[in-house]
Structure 1
Amino acid sequence: MFSRFGRVAAVSLLACSLAGNAFAEEHVVEMLNTDGEGKRMLFQPDFIKANVGDTVKFVLAQMPHNAESIPELWPEGVPTFKGKLNEEITITIEKPGIYGIKCMPHYTMGMIAMIVAGDEPPNKDQLDTYKPKGKESTKRFEEFKAQLAAQ
């Protein structure tokens, strides 16, 4: 039998634990061949501002694509992932940081994305050392850095 104080404490604890998950957001990212406006081989959106606990779901809108982490642009201690070709995949943002994503078949064509979690990502220095492969990936990466600097 719970005392009145015990019931109040139990209900408060339950409410707090549920509230932590209630505010998590799901970001949906489409994997596309074109956006219809001249941009080819892209994630849409390709720059995501997220919070720890949010999920990012990569959905196939056009084929063939995959989503996988860029290990050189990834928070320390967070497991990397590699989605299969034409596979929908969901990741959970585990801690603050910059998360780089690529579609391996179209990486050099510029199919990259960036997820930023937190106001001061602890792995921000990776932006200075990471060198994308391909002219288009380099161009998009520079756009991401500019977006991040503007925030």
Structure 2
Amino acid sequence: MTRALKTLRRGRLQIWLAALVFLAAPGAQTAKADSISVDQITDLSAKGARTMFRFAPELVRIDAGGTIEIRNSVRGHTVHSIPELWPADAPPVAISYRPSAVVRFTESGLYGLTCKRHGVYGMVMLVLVGDAESPDDLNDRIEAAKLSDDARQKLKSIAAGGGLLD
């Protein structure tokens, strides 16, 4: 097979994959649920660390009192709350190296989660609980978070894709 034909086929595959990712994009998940599963992904076929490590989905809308089961694809992931993106009265989350964990979100609000090991590469997610709306200062709170530039950029992208940022 010629190099040009291989490149054309690879290009078509990338277009199909991009379409699938778009359809499964975090902003596409708008229905609220009582319980949902989130996977911590390590995609060894990714072209770099920024796309290798991620939560799926990256934005979840859930009812107050609902739970999220976070499933760890490998034992090397953690789940920690991002203080700047966490309601003041809600207990923080700190889960390390477990195959799965269930987190209950009892208070309405916006919650941010990161993997402490891979957050530097943008492994972050947002959870919108109850009837809460996006805080007016969301962009400022993301900027104030003690995270890498990649993680802050990813949070902004997730928030914008979910209609939480203008």
Match of 2:35 in 1: 26
Match of 1:66 in 2: 78
Distance 1:24 1:110 in 2: 25
Match of 1:144 in 2: 158
Distance 1:48 1:89 in 2: 16
Per the TM alignment, residue 127 of structure 1 is displaced from its structure 2 partner at its CA by 4.0
Match of 1:17 in 2: none
Does residue 99 of the first structure (1) align with residue 108 of the second (2)? no
Aligned in 2, Cα 1:119/1:35: closer, same or farther, shift over 3 Å? farther
Structure 2: gaps spanning 5 or more residues:
1-31
Please say if residues 32 and 63 of structure 1, whose CA atoms lie closer than 8 Å, have aligned partners that are also in contact: no
Per the TM alignment, residue 126 of structure 1 is displaced from its structure 2 partner at its CA by 4.3
User: Residue 129 of structure 1 is aligned with which of 120, 126, 141?
Assistant: 141
Per the TM alignment, residue 147 of structure 1 is displaced from its structure 2 partner at its CA by 2.6
Over alpha carbons, which structure has the higher Rg? 1
Per the TM alignment, residue 90 of structure 1 is displaced from its structure 2 partner at its CA by 1.1
Per the TM alignment, residue 150 of structure 1 is displaced from its structure 2 partner at its CA by 6.1
Partner SS state of residue 118, structure 2: helix
Please say if residues 112 and 140 of structure 1, whose CA atoms lie closer than 8 Å, have aligned partners that are also in contact: yes
Structure 1: gaps spanning 5 or more residues:
1-22
Per the TM alignment, residue 124 of structure 1 is displaced from its structure 2 partner at its CA by 5.1
**Range 126-135 or range 49-58, more displaced:** 126-135
- Identical pairs, percent: 21
Per the TM alignment, residue 122 of structure 1 is displaced from its structure 2 partner at its CA by 7.3
Please provide the CA RMSD for this pair.
2.5
**Range 50-59 or range 121-130, more displaced:** 121-130
Per the TM alignment, residue 139 of structure 1 is displaced from its structure 2 partner at its CA by 2.2
TM-score normalised by L of structure 1: 0.73
Per the TM alignment, residue 24 of structure 1 is displaced from its structure 2 partner at its CA by 6.2
User: Residue 113 of structure 1 is aligned with which of 116, 119, 125?
Assistant: 125
Q: Segments of 4+ in structure 1 off by > 3 A?
A: 35-38, 118-124
